[in-house]
Structure 1
Amino acid sequence: MEINELLSGKNIVMIVSGSISAYRTPDIVRDLKRSGARIRVVLTDSATQIIGKETMEWASEEPIITNLTGNMEHISLFDGDRSNTILLVCPSTYNMIGKFAGGIADDTASTIFANALGTGIRTVIVPAMHMEMYESPILQENIVRLKGFGVDFVSPRVEDGKAKIMWSEEIIDTIVRRGNNSRTILIISGKSEVSIDPVRSLTNRSSGYTGVCIAREAYRDGYGRIIYVGNSEHRIPYYCEFIKCEQTDDYYRIVEESIRDQKIDLIAIPAALSDFTVEKSEKKIRSEKSVNLVMKPREKLVDKMEGVMKKFNLNIPIIRFKLTDRNYVPENSDRVTVVNLVQERPFGISRNKYIIYDGEKKLMEKEMEKEELASILIKIGDGIIEKR
């Protein structure tokens, strides 16, 4: 994970329970520190049987707490700026969530939680256990109860029949999340394919990373639903409603259905969709001789979307991307256009030079990382939504 300042100024008290997933916590602590946080680790007795105190001291660069002493750690840990203090329970077992929900405070971890809840400290819980235990109606009822007290949960990643501890990036996204609103963003991202025969297709080198960055920033901004249509070489966050799509025709169909059937507040289109159609051969094209492909221009996706919105009397802000050069002439429209000056940088890198237009008005020109671009675009989108 790259160094960033997402958690700069944050003080995190991290309770580590006896889930076998505790073996991953040194890496998570290091990732939290790389994001700018100061970490104090609390190990339960069962956690010390999985991960050693010395390892966690190395990871956090702070003394480890295993028991409450006369220093009253359950209180002193939350002294200072409480608005920038977070209690992170990672990983949390079935038993620990049950204790928290039942108001039991009979050990170090549960006493620290009880005090954090009573003093209004933001709390984030990261469950990890066997899937059968996670799906238990008792556990789910306890999660609902704790959410009612303002506790946030990071859903586990489901693999091999187990509810495994979530990746560091999603944990950090949840920690920095700014509230929870009812807005929905539709992100169309990734490469597209146009089939020329049953085994071959025309495509491009888009990685989908810009779409992933926009999804992460929308989640941090509090968006309630993030619909991601397309694909990516990068991991798509768990909180996205992911609709996998590769064929250009499928993009058009799924996007039209989403606009028609869902309440969308903002659309972002960093996808590299084909501007052409090709007549597909029903059989594999033989390779013994040359073949001429006729590429016919097709309707732009953004024009198709505006036609659908007009049909259903919708007015959804659109942020589109255009891969071009400095000869681009901005259009007189309501669209926000991000011009990607690909000629000035090689394709497929995280940093590039962009020009952002609101209709014909140039808002900015800057070389930046895609993460910064995503943050700027979500702020622009929020501003447009609020004006409407």
Structure 2
Amino acid sequence: MLEGVNVALGVTGSIAAVKTVELAHELRRQGAEVRGVMTGSAQGIIHPWAVEFATDNEVVTEITGSVEHVELCGNDGWADVFLIAPTTANTVGKIAGAVDDTPVTTCATTALGADTPVVIAPAMHEPMYDHPGVLEAIDTVAAWGVDFVDPRIEEGKAKIASEEAIVCDVARAAGERSLEGERVVVTSGATAEAIDPVRVITNRSSGKMGRAVARACYARGAEVTLVHGVVGPRPIGDGDGPPETDGDGNLPYATVRHVESASEMLTATREVCADADALVSAAAIGDYTVEGSDEKIRSGQERSLDLEPTPKLIDEIREARPDLPIVGFKTETSGDETAMIEQARETLERAGLAFVVANDASVMGSDRTAALLVHDADAARYEGTKAGLGGEIADSIAAIV
């Protein structure tokens, strides 16, 4: 997500500075080059050597005759984005007043004057975050085009945002925002049809591909809504950590509508597509439903289920929105590339899609994928991570909306 991006990482004197090492590692895992800048207060919480180790670069702890602030964040400076994480109330107020008495605030003033993107991740006690002067400073700085990564309000504290939220906003700030102002809907995950209150008919989709597309669209400036099936992993980050959703179930990069059945997914998608600019239908929606029992069916007896076909979501949305750009997904098991392209083209033509992503069912649940992006006249091969494919899809959407 951050391949080729240079991030100057400002660290201030919040106790959340103890998370700086992991944040720097995550920025680098996402492809960024990172250089640290620390206030004196931050050095009392985490040693500059730790930040040097995490970034594999020397850390700026004072501004000298080498004018480090200009070299990093000035006109034609090294940094593509200046990230301050964590940011204290003191630092936000100083930035708003152009007070330059630490390496971090001096870099911030320089970056703002040079139009270098700035991202701020506040972290402080909740009463400090609610102080009228702090809120006014945040509003002032935000009006200058600075991106704020909202903290998590928990246990009386405005805790620093998750690493995923910070990475997504850094990518958004550093990128070209080719989808700025566009509203993109993405469906993801699996649906489930209830046999009884305990059992369901479902499939093996994990939702990783849909979330990768949603994340990539957000990084390019889009307003993203994710309609996510509840089967399989709940929407989380790329790793195995805890869910990154907020109290309303939303992700850092998308407003989330949680659904279970194919019918619920169709209803939710129809609603959010009413004012959408594009739809990416990446969910593995069940092709059949069943009339479920209100009570648990007892085991140990033979049972037949009458399956009824579910409506095709892309056909239903196409009927409601004739001109909406729609990207479809087609999963096959044959392993025959020619057959995959033929099936994808049939779907492409039937529903009037922008293009279809065809892949083999073997990639379900994996972080890597191999796919064909099938258009009217050609089919482009892709092999790599789902995050990378998400970027390819987002770029293709930006070219047509």
Common topology (TM > 0.5): yes
Within 2, Cα distance between the matches of 1:37 and 1:268?
A: 28
The answer for the alignment partner of 1:377 in structure 2 is 393
Whether 2:327 is the aligned partner of 1:308: answer no
User: Secondary structure of 2:292's match?
Assistant: coil
Greater mean alpha carbon deviation, residues 328-337 or residues 193-202: 328-337
Pick the aligned partner of 2:380 from 364, 373, 383: 364
Q: Deviations over 1:4-61 (max 9, x none)?
A: 7x242x4332221111110010111222233443333222222122111221222223
CA distance change for structure 1 residues 320 and 159 in 2, over 3 Å: closer, same or farther?
farther
Distance 1:80 1:323 in 2: 48
1:134 is the counterpart of 2:129: yes
Task: Specify the alignment match of 2:243 in structure 1.
Answer: none
2:264 matched to 1:250? Answer: yes
Q: 1:362 to 1:161 in 2, by over 3 A?
A: farther
1:34–1:279: structure 2 CA closer, same or farther, 3 Å change rule? closer
Q: Distance in 1 between matches of 2:210 and 2:132?
A: 35
Distance 1:36 1:306, change over 3 A: closer
Q: Percent identity?
A: 32
Partners of 1:7 and 1:32 within 8 A in 2: no
Q: Distance in 2 between matches of 1:134 and 1:74?
A: 27
Measured after TM superposition, the shift of residue 207 of structure 1 is 0.8
- 5 Å matches for 1:117-128? 117-128=112-123
| TM-score between the two structures when normalised by the length of structure 1 | 0.87
Distance 2:6 2:205 in 1: 38
- Cross-structure match for 2:365: 348
Partner SS for 1:339: strand
Aligned counterparts of 1:75 and 1:81: Cα–Cα separation in 2 = 9
Q: Which residue of 2 aligns with 1:33?
A: 28
Change beyond 3 A, Cα 1:79–1:141:
closer
- The answer to whether the 8 Å contact 1:157/1:238 transfers is no
TM-score by length of 2: 0.85
Please list every run of 5 or more consecutive structure 2 residues that lacks an aligned counterpart in the other structure: 238-250
Return the alpha-carbon distance in structure 2 between the equivalents of residues 366 and 68 of structure 1.
46
Which AA in structure 1 matches 2:214?
A
Give the aligned residue type for 2:372. Answer: I
2:101 aligned to which of 90, 98, 106: 106
Whether 1:321 aligns to 2:332 is: no
Deviation for aligned residue 1:276: 0.7
* Separation (CA, whole Å) in 1 of partners of 2:119 and 2:363: 40
Per the alignment, do residues 7 and 175 of structure 1 end up closer, same or farther by CA in structure 2, a change over 3 Å counting? farther
Alignment match, 1:266:
278
Counterparts of 2:75 and 2:309, CA distance in 1: 62
Which residue type is aligned with residue 362 of structure 1? D
Q: Secondary structure at the match of 2:40?
A: coil
Give the equivalent residue in structure 2 for 1:278. 290
2:227 pairs with 1:229: yes
The CA deviation string for residues 131-150 of structure 1, in whole angstroms up to 9 with x for no partner, is: 34334443333222112222
Gaps of 5+ in 1: none
**Whole-Å Cα distance in 2 between the matches of residues 52 and 83 of structure 1?**
24
Give the structure 1 partner of residue 306 of structure 2: 294
- The root-mean-square deviation of aligned C-alpha atoms, in Å, is 2.3
